[in-house]
Chain A
Amino acid sequence: MNFVGLDLSGVNSLACVRDDTDAESFQGSDHPERPSCVLLPLVRKERLLAGDEALRSERGAGLAWPPLAMAVPNGWNRATPPAPSGRVMLATVWHRLTTGDRWSELQWQPPDGLPTTNKPTPDECLTAEVRSVLKRAHCDAGTAHVVLAIPNQLPEESQEALLGRLPTGARLVWRSVAAAMSWADLNAGHQNDGEQLAVLDAGLHGLEISVFEFRQQEMNGRTFRVPVRRLKRLHAIKTDTLLLDTPAPFVGLRPDFAALEPRLSEVPNNAGGDAEWLLCGPLAEPLLPLLERRFPHFRWRIPDPKAVARGSCLFAWRLARGLPTYLDVLPSLELFTLTEEHEPNWLPLIPADCEVSGGRDFQQVLARRIFIEKDTSRLASWLQRSGETDFRKLSTDLPVQAAQNAWVDLNVSARSAGGFARVRITPSPGQFDVFGTGQGAMLNWQSMERVVRGPKQHWPVEVKYGWPACGKLFAHRKFFEEFLQTAVDLESILSLRDVRQRLAGLGLLKERARQTIAPHFAGVTGAGGDAAPVNLLVCFSTAPCEFMEGGYAGRSQILKPLPSKDERARKIARLLWERLKVLSADAHAVSAEINAIVFILGRMAGYAPDAFQNQLAGEIHPVTNAVRLFAAGRVLQTPDHGRRLLAIIKEKADFGQPLNNNWLRMLVYVLYQGPDVLREVPRDHLVAAASLCLDVFEQQVQQGNVRMLFMNSLRALALLLRARRHDQARHFLCFDKCPQVEAHLAKRLGRFLRQASSMRLRAGPRTLVERVTEWLDFVASTDEMPPIAPPDEDDDAEGGNDD
């Protein structure tokens, strides 16, 4: 059995053959000085000539006679040089493959009025060269393990096209990896740990620089140093053809680096002078003196013209024996899906930073991740890949039209330099066989088209929203740090014997926790330079809290506090909670002190211990004081909290108690910050809550009073629509699909929304009214919730009992 590594770089197509006895031999071209080329057929049914046969042919070779043997006098430094006689340089074929395109013209016009014929595709041209080189090396394409070295820039489409045409079982390997493997194999005993190797592949259309680290892997008692390829450590300098403009290059190689020289400064960007520099590729030798002049302090090795072919052969040999080859990070791939809640989502098919062994498959099964609706016959899929700006759109015809709804699993399989990821769709266990009994479907990459992505476009399709999105409350660094500063002596405050002194200390802390600031005062701006559409900067809400601050580029950025400060905040919350527990157990405890601690813990939101959250959820009842309600708004977030809270609201509704502003505000905060807080809430509780909110809204609209109650009742109604995401409340408040009671409620809400929109409203309330109207009808183009707590509304929650 033979292992063949092929280096078809564009000059001297080289095969490295390794036989069963591990003896290596190299088979190059008979005309190593001539750029490799293919000859397009002049008439239909004529053969595509490649390899030495093409080099021997005089067609287009630049002879004086006959005209068929002539070549165009100039234009050989263009990206696509002229080919009037059908002689196409292999470098041009690679260039087309690398750009992922077919020929700009699918047909070509042979000379002397011969009929126009179809051009063989670039992958056909390259495959013809492969077969020709294999034939020259006396290798049977059917039995040999063939590995072809490809450039880093070769896109998946071209990899797929090549793998489809190459002899069965042929593999691809990155050229730079092959060179690195060969180097590591030859220098096995001379490497230092942590040493980097920069491979500079000098092709006829530019340079590819790949920086490798090495990792030790042991197998069968042997230690292998395998190169690790990282996408971030790859760099390409693309140019036109690096050949003299004239004369035609078919007699000999005449490189011209004029187009490359101005860009050579990019070479050291990826790896510094510490790395070992290895040159490979067809122009390695003529380029070396230039590089040595430009970068004299770099360690340049004498180019080894056989490195790539040898490395490719080594890859084939190791792969067949199950030995380590190289490590690679696959480009991430995400599939656009709608979640169970019908929310758009990018589902990672191949996660970012997914490291795989070269030649081995990455596989994962994603269970119940796509929902196929009844009567679907064509599955449209959108994908996004790291490193690409456009979306990829695929259309896969299902074998049969889906007779029922079904969840399906995704079986993902991908390989480094292995073309497209194979994504097999199969019905999830227990689901209807939408593809026929025991059948599945593969994502059809043949149908792939690239869809241009807009500058701010996140989703590939226009998504209609029927509820607002959740959000976060951002902290303000200055206030956060002031709070921490004030709380430095919290322990001593809490240990004071005099309750008045303790209250004074806690009061100081309350003042620090109470501070808020509007985004535009905090210098937070959006991409367009306007004020960022974030909610009011209230003091820390999540744990660890997040700060939104103005960045250097004028855009806002989200930052986190230092771990030490984060830990201090947690400690403060713990101390307060401990104190609260003591006070709760003390019958003589002063309620003011308890309220103060609850107030501060409420403001600390995400930092509040879980036990405090649970205790607070249990303490909410139809008559609860404002402090606890305010704190509840900040700290309740689990589905269980939501269920208990909405049960209390239902109780209030049963007793005919309206919701005041404290309740409404608490409800808004809970629903806004807890994405799944409504998951377990029964539908009738939701209806009761919506009804109470609507009562308030109706009253405010009829009074023409557009103030806090108006806004909070409307926000609460908007956020209650989030219940539509969950099974028990699908189509909640949808006119045509919900129960009659709800339909009546929805119509009422619609009526008052129309009435509200006819009122004279400020920009904020108007936006909210418009959005809620659209969400209610499921036609909103955004799910962005306007700020929930403008400064004038986020008033203090100190006060007596509710109601």
Chain B
Amino acid sequence: MARVLPYPWSLLALRSDSGASLSLEDCEAVKPFNPETLTFFTRAEDEALPKFAVHRHSAAPLATQVLLNPNTGAGRRPGVLSMPAFPHDKTDVWRVRFGREEIAIPVDGTLRRASAWEDPADHNAAEVCLRDTVDFLCGYFTEAISLTHDREFGEFHEFAGQAVARLNWSTIWKRWKKVSTGEEPRMARVVEIAFAHLTAIRNVCERPRRMLVRQREPVPVGRVQELDSVCLRDLIRRPGRTVLEKAGARQEILAITRRESVDTPENRVMREFIRLCQHRARAYERENGRAREHPRVRTVIDLRSNCERLEVWSPLAGVGRLVGVPRPNYVLQKDRRYHPLWLQYDKLRREEEAVDNIWSWGRRLWAEFIRGVVISFLFSDEARNTCGWRPDGELAGYLRTEHHAGTFIPGLSVSSRWIHREGQARMFVVHPAHAHLCPGLEELLPRLGAELALAVYPATGALKPEALLCIYTTLSLRTSTKQRDEMAVSLKSSLDQVAHETPSVNVRGLLLRGEWMADKRPENPRYGRVDYLAAPAGGPFWFHDFPELLTILLEELAG
């Protein structure tokens, strides 16, 4: 029987506990769930993954092969922990389908998906900021993939344009760190447009292609050049016997005239393009508010101001709105002024679509970012100096160029083996997809629902875990402080229970919350064995303060 879990780790909680799992019937009657952590459990062999009733995405597996399912009467059954893809609309009830059965799950604190065209205002600040955050997180992976085009890193060059690129985690760390601190704002599409296409944009907007439009209007008889059937019908209906009589007192009849117009399909696309450029430029400015003096940011600001001016004052101001998804006409495909801009517009639009698509998977994207940060930090030069753990074996940084339900990093690029500098312990970093394979934790770890686990073993001898650090992640929506506290307390009690059942293992938890509010100050309260960290998602905190905390935790694990 499928279960609804308030938190990913609820499989370990007692039924009486507030964090217990609920049957589908029960969950309709309880108080609203926290949408940031809501998770499902389904049996692998006979239950379909849950799906939103009005949503095309199914839930994405969080930890495959949860071999034990203590909540079923059948006992040991393989199962799957999965998290939902966020619905695009703000709602207090999530209608979720489990196979043929549909249930209404009350939730509190959801956010709708903002459009790419929205600028932040009082009424939509949270939505736009969340979208910017998702875009920002996505940008980290795009930035890593852009290493394949970087002349400085010739070894990655042959993976340019491939579906999966093989990179190096320490190089990724360096690049990400530069992006996060604003030391080097990321190379977004809008930056490329600002550098390479601003002149072309001005050229097109100031001297757009024009066309002659035929129209019918009363014309003095002496100036009539062309009549069509409508004009002739109009002429016949008029009173009078001769044309002069029919022309009336003003001596005008309906005739065809031609006027010049810039309202062409290609100009509509161009107007849409400069509007999109403005939005992307504003988002880029918001993202890099701390580095406004960087040439990239300055050029983007310049692009934005030019686009704003051109939209109002250029001949294109009178052009109609574009409706639907454009298909390139002959001008957009062949005209040497329009074609490069069409290509950029098309790419920009696709990127927007990509952000729209990945928005639903924001929770997984945040988890993916954290995995990337942890593993790349461990391979970084800083970790070599500060952290006591060194890699035991090699680990290539494979990255997908396009997300797969919010994930870019395959599990094999995360799961790795580490050895302590002093040789007293070994550590296994465990991707959730490999949780069921972790030696000594095959049964426990999949049910913990951790986004990343670090298991410490003695340096020699049998693989019996001595310590375990489980990293959990949530991406903030609009939940209350009370809901957040409940979440942390629930995790604490679950891990306490695990620690009680396995006294030989030092169990620690780390709950990482990515905030969409860029100006929110980091929080770091402690709930027993659980460290709670909340900071703006993708911000510099994760590349400066978080590694320090992680280093301390890892040292504590090593004993």
Residues of A with C-beta under 8 A to B439: 64-65
Hey, which chain A residues are within 8 Å of B282, CB to CB?
none
Residue in A64, A66, A115 whose beta carbon sits within 8 Å of that of B416 in the complex: A66
Taken together as a complex, chains A and B put the C-alpha atoms of A69 and B438 apart, in Å, by 12
Which residues of the partner chain B approach A70 to less than 8 Å between Cβ atoms?
437
B540 contacts A by Cβ under 8 Å: no
Contact A43–B415 (Cβ < 8 Å): no
CB-defined interface of A18-56 with B at 8 Å, one 1/0 digit per residue?
000000000000000000000000111110000000000
Answer whether A65 and B164 are a contact pair too, CB < 8 Å, given A42-B398, A43-B398, A111-B412: no
The A724-778 residues at the B interface (CB cut-off 8 A) are none
Query: Which A-chain residue is minimally distant from B439 (CB atoms)?
Result: A64
Q: CB-CB < 8 A to B162: which residues of A? A: 43-45
**A58 contacts partner chain B, Cβ-Cβ < 8 Å:** yes
Within 8 A of A (CB), among B495-553: none
Q: How many A-B residue pairs have CB under 8 A?
A: 66
Contacts of B398 in A (CB 8 A): 42-43, 114
Give bound CA distance, A58 to B415, whole Å: 13
Contact flag A65-B410 (CB < 8 Å), given A44-B163, A46-B166: no
Bound-state CA distance A9–B166 (Å) is 32
Contact B163–A68 (Cβ < 8 Å): no
Contact assessment for A65 and B158 in the assembled complex, using a CB-CB cutoff below 8 Å: no
Q: Would you call B412 and A112 a contact (CB within 8 A)?
A: yes
A67 interface hit (Cβ, 8 Å): yes
Closest to B396 in A: A42
Taking CB as reference atom, which chain B residue is nearest A68? B412
Closest chain B CB from A768 CB (angstroms): 72
Within 8 A of A (CB), among B393-447: 393-396, 398, 404, 410-412, 415-417, 428, 433-434, 437-439
The answer, yes or no, to whether A430 is at the interface (CB within 8 Å) is no
Report Cα–Cα, A63/B165, bound state, in Å.
Answer: 25
A656 contacts B by Cβ under 8 Å? no
Interface contact A44-B164, CB-CB below 8 Å: yes
* A113 interface contact, C-beta 8 A: yes
Q: How far is the CB of B458 from chain A (nearest CB, A)?
A: 13
Majority secondary structure, B binding face? mixed
B3 to chain A, nearest CB (A): 25
From B426, which residue of chain A is reached at the shortest CB distance?
A: A65
Contact check, B428 vs A65: say whether CB atoms are below 8 A apart. Answer: yes
A114 to B164, CA, bound (A): 8
* Structural contact, A112 and B417, CB atoms closer than 8 A: no
Contact A43–B164 (Cβ < 8 Å): yes
Are B415's CB and A68's CB within 8 A? Answer: yes
A577-622 interface with B by 8 A CB criterion: none
Q: Which residues of A contact B165 (CB under 8 A)?
A: 43
Would you give the shortest CB distance from A305 to chain B, in whole angstroms?
Answer: 31
Residues of B within 8 A of A46 (CB): 166
Query: Contacts A112-B410, A115-B163; is A45 near B158 (CB within 8 Å)?
Result: yes
* Cβ of A471 to closest chain B Cβ, rounded Å: 69
Contact B412 A66 (CB under 8 A): yes
Which residue on chain A has the smallest CB distance to residue B404? A113
B417 / chain A contacts, CB cutoff of 8 Å: 63, 65-66, 69
Per-residue CB contact flags for chain A residues 106-148 toward chain B (1 = under 8 Å, else 0) read 0000011111000000000000000000000000000000000
In the docked arrangement, what's the CA distance between A114 and B396, Å? Answer: 13
Question: Would you give the shortest CB distance from A503 to chain B, in whole angstroms?
Answer: 102
Which residue on B lies nearest to A85, using beta carbons? Answer: B412
Contact present for A67 and B412 (CB under 8 Å): yes
Q: How far is the CB of B399 from chain A (nearest CB, A)?
A: 10
Give Cα distance in the complex from A112 to B417, angstroms: 17
Candidates A43, A57, A58, A63; contact of B166 at CB < 8 Å: A43
- What residues on A are CB-neighbors of B395 within 8 Å? 66
Residues of A within 8 A of B438 (CB): 65
Q: Across the interface, which residues of B come within 8 angstroms of A67, CB to CB?
A: 411-412, 415, 434, 437
CB distance from B145 to the nearest CB of A (A): 13
A70 to B437, CA, bound (A): 10
Q: A42-B398, A45-B162, A67-B415 are in contact. Are A113 and B410 (CB under 8 A)?
A: yes
The yes or no answer to B459 lying at the interface (CB within 8 A) is: no
Most buried by B among A58, A112, A114: A112
A112 contact set on B, CB distance < 8 A: 410-412, 433
Collect the chain A residues with CB atoms within 8 Å of residue B396's CB: 42
Task: Tell me which residues across on chain B come within 8 A of A68, comparing CB atoms.
Answer: 412, 415
Residues of chain A lying within 8 A (CB to CB) of residue B437: 65, 67, 70
In the bound assembly, the distance between CA atoms of A603 and B158 in angstroms comes to 85
Contacts of A45 in B (CB 8 A): 158-159, 162, 166
In Å, the complex CA distance between A43 and B437 comes to 23
CA distance A113 to B64 in the complex (A): 13
Q: Which has the most chain B C-beta neighbours within 10 Å: A42, A43, A69, A70?
A: A43
A45 closest partner in B (C-beta): B158
A710 to chain B, nearest CB (A): 81
B463 close to A (CB within 8 Å): yes
Q: With CB as the reference atom, state the residue of chain B lying closest to A56.
A: B394
Please report the C-alpha to C-alpha distance between residue A115 and residue B400 in the assembled complex, in whole angstroms.
10
**Interface members, chain A 64-78 (any B CB < 8 Å):** 64-70
Contact among B159, B393, B410, B428 for A58, CB-based, below 8 A: B393
User: Please, which residue of chain A has its CB at the minimum distance from the CB of B407?
Assistant: A113
| Residues of the B chain whose Cβ atoms lie less than 8 Å from the Cβ of A58 | 393-394
CA distance in complex: A45, B167 (Å) = 12
Instruction: Name the B residues within 8 Å of A69 (CB-CB).
Output: 393, 417
Contact B164 A115 (CB under 8 A): yes
B160-212 contacts to A (CB < 8 Å): 162-166
Expressed in whole angstroms, the Cα–Cα distance for A1 and B439 within the complex equals 53
List residues of chain B with CB within 8 A of the CB of A113: 404, 410
Mask: chain B, 17-41; 1 = CB below 8 Å from A; 0 = not:
0000000000000000000000000
Report the Cα distance A553→B164, complex, angstroms.
65
Q: How far is the CB of B62 from chain A (nearest CB, A)?
A: 14
B163 close to A65 (CB less than 8 A) = no
A65 and B412: CB pair below 8 A?
Answer: no
| Distance between B398 CB and nearest chain A CB, rounded to angstroms | 6
Complex CA distance for A66 and B391, rounded to whole angstroms: 12
CA A63 to CA B394, docked complex, whole Å:
13
Give Cα A687 to B158, complex, Å: 78
Q: Which of B476-500 contact A (CB under 8 A)?
A: none
Q: Which B residues are CB-close (under 8 A) to A65?
A: 415, 417, 428, 437-439, 463
**Digit string of A63-104 for contact with B (CB within 8 Å is 1, else 0)?**
111111110000000000000000000000000000000000
A66 and B434 contacting across the interface, CB-CB below 8 Å: yes
**Complex Cα–Cα for A151 and B22 (A):** 65
Chain A residues 197 to 250 lying within 8 A of chain B, measured CB to CB, are none
Cα of A116 to Cα of B557 in the assembled complex, Å: 38
Nearest-CB residue, chain A, relative to B165: A43
Contacts of B164 in A (CB 8 A): 43-44, 114-115
Cα–Cα, bound, A64→B428 (Å)? 10
Minimum C-beta distance from B121 to chain A (A): 41
CA distance A44 to B416 in the complex (A): 22
The complex places the Cα of A64 from the Cα of B430 at a distance, in Å, of 13
Query: C-beta contact mask, A361-375 vs B, less than 8 Å → 1, else 0?
Result: 000000000000000
Q: Considering the chains assembled together, what is the distance between the CA atoms of A45 and B162 in angstroms?
A: 8
CA A46 – CA B155 in complex, angstroms?
11
Residue of B nearest to A58 (CB): B393
* A66 CA / B375 CA spacing, docked (Å): 14
Q: Note all chain B residues with C-beta closer than 8 A to A114.
A: 164, 398, 410, 412
- Nearest first, the 9 closest Cβ-Cβ pairs linking A and B are A66-B415, A112-B410, A43-B164, A112-B411, A68-B412, A112-B412, A45-B158, A65-B428, A67-B434
- Chosen A-B contacts, 20 in total, with CB atoms closer than 8 Å, are A43-B166, A43-B398, A44-B162, A45-B158, A46-B166, A58-B393, A65-B428, A65-B438, A66-B393, A66-B395, A66-B415, A66-B416, A66-B417, A67-B415, A68-B415, A69-B417, A111-B411, A112-B411, A114-B410, A115-B163
In addition to A42-B398, A45-B162, A112-B411, 17 A-B residue pairs with Cβ atoms within 8 Å of each other are: A42-B396, A42-B412, A43-B159, A43-B163, A43-B165, A43-B166, A45-B166, A46-B166, A57-B394, A64-B439, A64-B463, A65-B428, A66-B395, A67-B434, A67-B437, A68-B412, A115-B163
